[in-house]
Structure 1
Amino acid sequence: MTVLLANPPLPAVECRQVTRRFAGQAVLDHLDLEIAPGEFVALLGSSGSGKTTLLRALAGLDRIDEGRLQVPEALAAVFQEPRLMPWKRAWRNVSLGVRGEGAKARALAAMTEVGLEHRLNAWPGTLSGGEAQRVALARALVREPKLLLLDEPFAALDALTRIRMHQLIIALWRAHNPAVLLVTHDVDEAVLLADRVVVLDHGRIAEQIQIRLPRPRQIATPAFHNLRARLLELLGVDSDPDVASAADDSQPLSRTGNR
């Protein structure tokens, strides 16, 4: 009897030997990275490590000098600033680029998902910071992306709004199941949200850590604390020397260089 094995799904993101230079210096240095369909990956690194450069390249907003990038056609990006058109009402911002007679209905459905069905006709200038970011999320979701790129979208929000946005992004990710790449400077945010944390250093992957903590995740647990300390150490931040360098609920994927 012959057993036919199903082919594994193609990655949502595939980077092979990706290099980007500015003024002759490599910001991305022969970087290899894969993101599986439906996987949530957080990208950490100090300023200048190449995080935003990689995200912009994946979004098609910046070129690469060497290597190969593969991303799905259906992708969307949300940035730190909501980047709403102030002369368009909220639903029209959401439906930007959406073609067909059902554009408003799709915008309403997306705004309902992010809890803003009552703000459909609001002008951007009347929205709070959290509301504006939810409109930006709705604008991304209305395109049903296979890849969602998030460039520090919660950095400018107050602490309580940020917690609510974390809960919302997890709910939306579960509902739509896109691959997600989140660029962040916040170690706690990375561990709270991601399936895997990738640490960049000088344009290369220093380490990747699989996060195996159950959801919803709690900061006040030893496993979370150990992961946090380990990531801070990788980022060059002093941590409690008594904390173990690895947690039982994590598994390193690579320790030096690329995969």
Structure 2
Amino acid sequence: MDARLTFLELPEHRLYAPDESPTEPPVVRLRDFTRAFGANTIIDRLDLDIHPGEFVALLGRSGSGKTTLLRTLGGLDDAPGQDVSVPSSRAVVFQDARLLPWKRVWRNVVLGLKGENQRERAHDALREVGLGHRIDAWPLTLSGGEAQRVALARALVREPRLLLLDEPFAALDALTRLKMHGLVLDLWRAHRPAVLMVTHDVDEAIALADRILVLDGGRIAAQERIALPRGERAELTHLLRSKLLGILGGTATSDAVIPFPQGGH
């Protein structure tokens, strides 16, 4: 196996090997974070750092705490009395684009923003996602892929330091999904936010992320760091898929290798 690719089954709360610790302060920092609903503990004493410009994918079985963690980082759930540090500049893209059908596309993009030149700002963001020509369209005239592009534009116009993606491509067909992978990587390279993407798709995690985390029982059970450029990962797909599915409790059901978005880290 390539020396740049290392699979780690982590001791409790250990996210970085000593020689891999980044020098920049994290934009996300959780220490001993716990979330419980009655007697049901969803997140159990979780430690997590995400650093500037890092692209992290979060895998886990249903009920493992992925959505609960994302909602906390996105400010959708309060965390009183907990050691949780996240940037004020953050944005969330959900599986459902959540566009308001009674507002034109550009007004959806700048929804809630203050300041002048909002139409121009919306147009700039829409051009980045390839939809500058749809600025005055109504949301109900958009395809599923176009609606998700608008949702990305709405996130990016806020210039977030932290971008949270909650299974944003799960409802798209396979070809549109691959195109969206390439778009997300292009936008990430251009803007360099820290990204946390929740996904059930192991191949998607391998294709996009610098680091893959597996959440199990409310804790980080394992992580995978991938130093290979994204254009050079295809031959490792089956190996990584098998390892990650083993952690998740599933089995690899296909030997198919999906095409990977091209480019560097």
Deviation for aligned residue 1:214: 1.6
Name the aligned partner's letter for residue 55 of structure 2. Answer: F
Name the aligned partner's letter for residue 244 of structure 2. Answer: L
Deviation for aligned residue 1:101: 1.7
Alignment correspondent of 2:197? 182
Question: What is the DSSP-based 3-state SS (H/G/I as helix, E as strand, rest coil) of the residue aligned with 1:216?
Answer: helix
Deviation for aligned residue 1:238: 2.7
Alignment correspondent of 1:234? 247
Alignment correspondent of 1:256? none
Say which of 33, 43, 50 aligns to 1:18. 33
Say which of 72, 77, 89 aligns to 1:62. 77
TM-score (ref. length: structure 2): 0.85
Is contact 1:50–1:203 with CA below 8 Å preserved after alignment? yes
Which ranges in structure 2 are unaligned for 5 or more consecutive residues? 1-21, 254-265
Q: Deviations over 1:33-59 (max 9, x none)?
A: 000100000000000000010000001
Say which of 39, 46, 50 aligns to 1:31. 46
Question: What is the DSSP-based 3-state SS (H/G/I as helix, E as strand, rest coil) of the residue aligned with 1:38?
Answer: coil
Distance 1:90 1:217, change over 3 A: farther
Separation in 1 of the partners of 2:192 and 2:59?
Answer: 22
Alignment correspondent of 1:136? 151
Separation in 2 of the partners of 1:229 and 1:190?
Answer: 13
Q: Deviations over 1:88-128 (max 9, x none)?
A: 00000001122222111110000000000110000001000
Deviation for aligned residue 1:185: 0.1
Separation in 2 of the partners of 1:182 and 1:27?
Answer: 19
Deviation for aligned residue 1:225: 1.6
Is contact 1:44–1:199 with CA below 8 Å preserved after alignment? yes
Deviation for aligned residue 1:218: 4.7
Separation in 2 of the partners of 1:32 and 1:13?
Answer: 10
Which ranges in structure 1 are unaligned for 5 or more consecutive residues? 1-6, 241-259
Deviation for aligned residue 1:215: 2.0
Deviation for aligned residue 1:217: 4.7
Separation in 2 of the partners of 1:217 and 1:158?
Answer: 24
Q: Deviations over 1:161-187 (max 9, x none)?
A: 000000000000000000000000000
Question: What is the DSSP-based 3-state SS (H/G/I as helix, E as strand, rest coil) of the residue aligned with 2:148?
Answer: helix
Question: What is the DSSP-based 3-state SS (H/G/I as helix, E as strand, rest coil) of the residue aligned with 1:60?
Answer: coil
Separation in 2 of the partners of 1:218 and 1:17?
Answer: 34
Alignment correspondent of 2:114? 99
Separation in 2 of the partners of 1:59 and 1:180?
Answer: 12
TM-score (ref. length: structure 1): 0.87
Deviation for aligned residue 1:224: 2.2
Separation in 2 of the partners of 1:60 and 1:53?
Answer: 11
Separation in 2 of the partners of 1:160 and 1:71?
Answer: 34
Question: What aligned pairs does 1:64-103 form with structure 2 within 5 A after superposition?
Answer: 64=79, 67-103=82-118
